[in-house]
Amino acid sequence: MGACFSMADIISVLYGKYLNVHPTAPTWKERDRFILSKGHAGACLYAALAECRFFPISNLKTHYQNGSKLSGHVSHIDIPGVEFSTGSLGHGLPVAAGMAMAALMDGHSNRVVCLLSDGECDEGSVWEAALFAAHHKLKNLVAIIDYNKIQSLASVDETLALEPFADKWSAFGWKVFEVDGHNHEEILMGLTKASDVNGPSVLLAHTTKGKGVSFMENSVLWHYRTAKDKEFDDALQELMAL
Amino acid sequence: MRDVFLKRLCELAARDERIMLLTGDLGFKVLDEFSSRFKGRFINVGVAEQNMAGIAAGLALEGKTVFIYSIANFPSLRCIEQIRNDVCYHQANVKILSIGSGFSYGQLGMSHHATEDITIMRALPGLRVLSPCEDWETVFCCEYSVAEQGPFHIRIDKASAPSTAKPHEVFRPEKLRRVTDGDDVSIIATGSILGEALAAADILASKGIGLRVYACHSLKPFDSAELFSAVRETQGLLTLEEHTVEGGLGGIVAEILLEEGVIPGFFQRIGLRDKFASVVGAQDYLRGHYGLTASDIVSTIEARFPISNQTRRGTCD
């Protein structure tokens, strides 16, 4: 749940204000493409798609259940609005780069957005795609890093330090926008400015894992855990008060 | 085989602007025709195979027919998870073209020997696996892979392998091709090592043994019907591959026959057995060193045929 809450604001802005998508036409050719490369936070995407009426909100109850289509890591099969199935980290950005390239080749104006986790940037394939996107000036490609600074076993700094992270992306030829990942105006401003860049852009979204629930914030434990019983009630209470 | 494949691909690309070719920084000079004729549809992605496979999936999901090109195991094993998750799970129209099957790059060492890819790639759901045996089949495999939607793994030799097609022969995709007639023993070969099976057939013919040789260009799907005919109409069966027998052609055949209860009089898989080739040598030399030649086939058959009582009892390999 921690991984979902750190990106909830980003997803809200994407589906609420930025992405040109339509629930009645999920395969419309000119739609913006969104790939959730940090597929383990699929629940957040499913929630947004349901809110946007890509499928009934009642379907969310089937998440993780036997016989369901809503798997723990995001799946595209029979789920309108999901562009691509992910789950193994490092896959999303190369695919997004391919989609972005196709759009430019064919003269389509749609954008491609790919949301990655910070720990995911340990994967070499992310940097292969970064090199490629900059080399080919994929100006319709935006990556967003959910930079909550915690990964599976410990903090990012303790595991495999990414700093100076902005400098790394910049050195790879990307335009970097550092934003508060929980400030909707900043997120939208960064996305909007990305349109003026003649190459790929990355939003380094500084976020808090488990944001909004005091006992989940900045906790490695809540990377894995799902709230139950009293924890669930307490969490819901805190979130409703926001 | 590489050159005829690429020539045909260029002809097809001239008529179909969806066809794209990506390379992982390999193919010096040989991709020049495609890259010069179809600018914008050729991309050298650099030495980055995982990225190449991911990009290919993205392009394919946007309507392109994408070939990813490299040698030996680079476009397959190096990016196997991308092929599994991004290409196969999405049934993306991506064709993995691996140049240098088996010991094609013999002298370069084991890193460049494609000797386990059949086993690994055929396990991926929805991925068809083609392994043409000579130039004529290669051209048709190219056409077939373009005509059919969905993922393909196509493994071909670098060098030319002379055509064994009869005049007016029609290529039948996914079917075992009977190249020689024979009613004593059958052998199924995949890849250019078919040539060794044909040479063995000539030797055996002079000894009065009829070897029925099949060329197998399609490992998945596999032509079970013709396989059963071969077993029922001859007295023993061999498989031949420049590849491990573990899960390769030999494994495919064994699985199908045993599950169906169609049991040959005797059965022998010829191929590599749990070995890397650390001896240096050209393709022919390595075939000789690892027991994959016509004379090895002949000795194997002479040891098992005619079938004695001892040979018949419980000797599936």
How many contiguous H segments (helices) and E segments (strands) does chain B have? 12, 12
Pairwise CB contact (< 8 Å): A94 & B54: yes
Partners of residue A99 in chain B, C-beta under 8 Å = 58-59, 61-62
Of the partner residues B40, B50, B56, the one whose CB lies closest to the CB of residue A125: B50
pLDDT in tens, B8-38: 999 999 999 999 999 999 999 999 999 999 9
Of the partner residues A85, A99, A128, the one whose CB lies closest to the CB of residue B51: A128
State how far the alpha carbon of B167 is from the alpha carbons of A108, A110, B141, B170, B191, in Å: 48, 52, 19, 9, 21
Pairwise CA distance, residues B291 & B287, whole Å? 6
Please report where in the chains the tokens 């010069």 appear, as a residue. Answer: B36
Pairwise CB contact (< 8 Å): A98 & B59: yes
**Nearest residue in chain A measured CA to CA from B79:** A125
**Shortest CA gap B234–chain A (Å):** 46
| Residue B53 touches chain A, beta carbons under 8 Å | yes
Residue B203 is given by DSSP the state H
User: What does each of the 242 residues of chain A score in pLDDT, given as a tens digit?
Assistant: 878 889 999 999 999 999 999 999 999 999 999 999 999 999 999 999 999 999 999 999 998 899 998 888 899 999 999 999 999 999 999 999 999 999 999 999 999 999 999 999 999 999 999 999 999 999 999 999 999 999 999 999 999 999 999 999 999 999 999 999 999 999 999 999 999 999 999 999 999 988 888 888 887 777 777 788 888 888 888 888 88
Pairwise CB contact (< 8 Å): A91 & B90: no
| Residue A71 touches chain B, beta carbons under 8 Å | no
**Nearest residue in chain B measured CA to CA from A134:** B45
- This model of the complex carries an ipTM of 0.95
φ, ψ of residue B93 in degrees (nearest 5): -80, 65
Q: What is the pLDDT of residue B309?
A: 52
Number of A–B residue contacts, CB under 8 Å = 86
Q: Which two tokens stand for residue B138?
A: 């290669």
**Which pTM value belongs to this model?**
0.95
Pairwise CB contact (< 8 Å): A97 & B54: yes
State how far the alpha carbon of A116 is from the alpha carbons of A26, A162, A177, B47, B141, in Å: 22, 14, 15, 23, 39
Pairwise CB contact (< 8 Å): B85 & A87: yes
Pairwise CB contact (< 8 Å): A97 & B58: yes
pLDDT at B4 exceeding the cut of 80: yes
Pairwise CB contact (< 8 Å): A95 & B54: yes
Q: Residue B144 burial by CB count (10 A; 0-12/13-18/19+): exposed, middle or buried?
A: buried
Q: What is the pLDDT of residue B317?
A: 42
pLDDT at B310 exceeding the cut of 60: no
Of all residues in chain B, the percent with pLDDT exceeding 70 is 97
Pairwise CB contact (< 8 Å): A94 & B58: yes
| Residue B12 touches chain A, beta carbons under 8 Å | no
Pairwise CA distance, residues B309 & A67, whole Å? 53
Q: What is the pLDDT of residue A1?
A: 81
pLDDT in tens, B174-206: 999 999 999 999 999 999 999 999 999 999 999
pLDDT in tens, B208-224: 999 999 999 999 999 99
| Residue B56 touches chain A, beta carbons under 8 Å | yes
Partners of residue B55 in chain A, C-beta under 8 Å = 94-95, 97-98, 101, 129, 132
Pairwise CB contact (< 8 Å): A94 & B46: no
**Shortest CA gap B75–chain A (Å):** 14
Q: Residue A77 CB: number of other CB atoms within 10 A?
A: 10
**Nearest residue in chain A measured CA to CA from B56:** A98
Q: What is the pLDDT of residue A20?
A: 97
| Residue A210 touches chain B, beta carbons under 8 Å | no
Pairwise CB contact (< 8 Å): A101 & B55: yes
Tell me the residues of chain A between 117 and 176 that have a Cβ less than 8 Å away from chain B. Answer: 124-125, 128-129, 131-132
Q: What is the pLDDT of residue A213?
A: 83
> How many Å separate Cα B140 from the centre of its chain?
14
| Residue A91 touches chain B, beta carbons under 8 Å | yes
Pairwise CB contact (< 8 Å): B62 & A124: no
pLDDT at B316 exceeding the cut of 70: no
Pairwise CA distance, residues B12 & B143, whole Å? 8
Pairwise CA distance, residues A95 & A78, whole Å? 20
Partners of residue A128 in chain B, C-beta under 8 Å = 46, 48, 50-51
Question: What average pLDDT does the segment B218-236 reach?
Answer: 98
Which of A69-78, B95-104, B302-311 has the least mean pLDDT?
B302-311
Of the partner residues A88, A98, A131, the one whose CB lies closest to the CB of residue B81: A88
Pairwise CB contact (< 8 Å): A125 & B40: no
Q: Which two tokens stand for residue B254?
A: 């064994």
The single-letter code of the amino acid at A152 is S
Partners of residue B51 in chain A, C-beta under 8 Å = 94, 97, 125, 128-129, 131-132
